[in-house]
Structure 1
Amino acid sequence: MTIKSLAVLFVAATMPHLVAAEQLPTQPQHANAQDLIEVFEKSGGKHPGIRKGHAKGVCAVGEFVGSEQAALYTNSLLFSGATIPAVMRFSMAGQNPIVPDSSRSPRGLGVKFSLPNGGVHHIAMLSTPMFGANSPESFLGLMRAGAPDEQGKRDPARVAAYRAAYPDTQPQADWLMNNPIPRSYKDVHYYGVHTFFFKNEAGVEVPARYSLEARDGYHGLDETDLDALGNDFLAARLQDELATAPAYFDYYITLAEEGDNLLDPSQTWPEERERVLLGTLKVTTSGGEACTPINFDPNIISAGVRSSDDAVLKIRSPAYAISFARRLTGK
């Protein structure tokens, strides 16, 4: 019997009134993009014409300028120092387009940069420094454990049992419980969670993870104010904030060192890793439909940056493509 199996049995033994042994969730042996889209729809319901993940969000526009030291790490046109137009989407995690803005869940940010040569470069991030699982299979199993049954009821005990059996799914949940709910989309640090390789003009390539960090810092909500805020305050708050002044996010890469896991997005690297500022994103206005026709696939990137073999990162392209196609066709 595996350690994971023992962990699940322990949960069942200590909470027999919550999880029956025959109902213990298991991790699938294989996951594909279609599986993920189907479980998204089962979990959040079918919403024609809506993104299957990060269904609720708001568009914004701005610009990006690379830093002077960026050329030491990459020759991507994104970091050339030119002013690069940016279209972005701030969002709530999940498949529900009416999820409350006060939910204790990740926020998302996808950005499309339009490069001087006519090309594009995308980034996609979460407000947690890690992803919710270490593989597509583990993530699919977690989503299935949390999905409602035929009567529309969810079973939190199944999720707890699954997390006990597959501890790679626990760090993100712990982070969300131990950090305040963000007060605004602009008061959040966003993380790429996956490893990418950055190559400079001399051909030197380094593995790193990127992040966009709010220049004004991370600010959480006073939870006593949640009832007064209601379910839909983030989009209006961002619009009001940008009407007063632009929001700035600094683009950092964190450099890997020997021994760091390059393929597991559920693991964070030690805090003492070297960080380098590669540029700044300026967000000027929000609202409108500029991001609606964009598929924020993080694997759409420019020369000078390449994706790692992280299986979660790789499956995002076909999953995003299915979601994009269904959204455009109203499915």
Structure 2
Amino acid sequence: MPKFPSGAATPMSLVEALRAVAGLPPKARASFCWGRCVRGTYAPSDQAKEITRSRSFTMPSRVLARFSADCDSPNAVDTHGCSLRGFSFRLGSGLQRSEILTHSAPVHFARTPDQMLAFLQARMPGPDGKPDMAQVAAFSAANPETLRQASYLAANPPPPSLACTTYWGVHAFPATNAGGETRFIKFKVVPVGQEGRPAEDAATATGLLRDLESRIAARDVRFSVMALLDRPGDPVMDVTIRWPDEDGHEAVRLGTIVITGTESSEACGAAAFNPANLAEGIGHPPDEMFAVRCTAYVISQTRRR
């Protein structure tokens, strides 16, 4: 069985490994490189203050967001509809700004930075441009939790539209309300009212983005931002597992995002959508992956300039 590194991961090594596995150029985004920058509005619900005192979620604001697809090429065909999709959004401004990263699976593919680096290194392309599948199988057998994200996507392929996809935040965030009460929440972003009518080329990133633009032009893109509330004993350190009966947890609607138009790529290129940017009232998750992602996003943004 091949040996995999232990204690070797750094934010820089993870960014470099992500690019190497996907065969991306130095200035490309390390992940979710194909996307569309958009703008919109956020309107809080009456219940938001019961969950958090963060003004990002309790006050109306403009929204800067980015929909994305995690694929090597904009015209690569996702035959089984299992490629990961992303939705990053910024609420509020200045010191009251929060930036939330979500994607189309409720779990991450690695529990720790070291495991993520080993996962990627096992999939590095060889001289023939392809990974050693025996090495991939060996790593997967030794690390079965790294298969949970792919298994979820295979069993729950997303609809043929970015605007009709449900997105999850895999981290558990400590949220403090106006009364000083703190509990863990997970973000879930749910489409409102859209129908998953297929685009002709919805199996490609190009097709997904074209469908998104047509829906935005028709003023047909809106989402409910939900907070899934924890129960006693729910795990908050492992992003490769869901909370027990997570779909049955109480969910509170924090507010509604309405996408009103597209923005230039530069508008989102200047924004790291760094998960470390959270307005007071939403704290940093305690898991290892959150900490390393905060630094990795800054590195990736710096490399793109």
TM-score by length of 2: 0.91
- Distance in 2, matches of 1:180 and 1:155, equals 26
Structure 1 residue 69 displacement after superposition? 0.9
How is 1:79-228 mapped onto 2 (pairs within 5 angstroms)?
A: 79-80=57-58, 82-93=59-70, 96=72, 98=74, 100=76, 102=78, 104-115=82-93, 119-216=96-193, 219=196
**2:220 corresponds to:** 246
- Paired AA for residue 109 in structure 1: F
- Distance in 1, matches of 2:50 and 2:205, equals 45
Structure 1 residue 121 displacement after superposition? 1.0
- Distance in 2, matches of 1:177 and 1:293, equals 34
TM-score by length of 1: 0.84
- Paired AA for residue 248 in structure 1: R
For the 8 Å contact 1:37–1:319, the answer to whether it is kept is yes
For the 8 Å contact 1:189–1:217, the answer to whether it is kept is no
Structure 1 residue 62 displacement after superposition? 0.4
- Distance in 2, matches of 1:261 and 1:27, equals 26
- Distance in 1, matches of 2:277 and 2:227, equals 18
Structure 1 residue 170 displacement after superposition? 1.4
Alignment partner for residue 44 of structure 2, among 60, 63, 66? Answer: 66
Alignment partner for residue 211 of structure 2, among 237, 240, 246? Answer: 237
For the 8 Å contact 1:101–1:232, the answer to whether it is kept is no
| 1:299-326 deviation line (CA, Å, top 9, x unaligned) | 2100010012110011001111111111
SS in 2 for 1:241: helix
- Aligned pair count reads 300
SS in 1 for 2:224: strand
Which range moved further: 35-44 or 302-311?
35-44
For the 8 Å contact 2:82–2:150, the answer to whether it is kept is no
| 1:121-148 deviation line (CA, Å, top 9, x unaligned) | 1000110011111111111111111120
- Paired AA for residue 137 in structure 1: D
For the 8 Å contact 2:54–2:282, the answer to whether it is kept is yes
- Distance in 2, matches of 1:101 and 1:187, equals 19
Higher Rg: 1
Structure 1 residue 231 displacement after superposition? 5.7
**1:255 corresponds to:** 229
- Distance in 1, matches of 2:195 and 2:13, equals 35
| 1:209-258 deviation line (CA, Å, top 9, x unaligned) | 11111113684869xx66x9666211111111111123111111111112
- Distance in 2, matches of 1:314 and 1:265, equals 12
SS in 2 for 1:232: helix
**1:277 corresponds to:** 253
For the 8 Å contact 1:295–1:324, the answer to whether it is kept is yes
* Runs of at least 4 residues off by over 6 Å: none
For the 8 Å contact 2:219–2:259, the answer to whether it is kept is no
For the 8 Å contact 2:158–2:165, the answer to whether it is kept is no
- Distance in 2, matches of 1:221 and 1:172, equals 24
| 1:142-175 deviation line (CA, Å, top 9, x unaligned) | 1111120244222233222211110110111111
- Percent identity, aligned pairs only, is 28
- Distance in 2, matches of 1:39 and 1:158, equals 16
Which range moved further: 143-152 or 122-131?
143-152
SS in 2 for 1:68: coil
SS in 1 for 2:29: coil
Structure 1 residue 197 displacement after superposition? 0.6
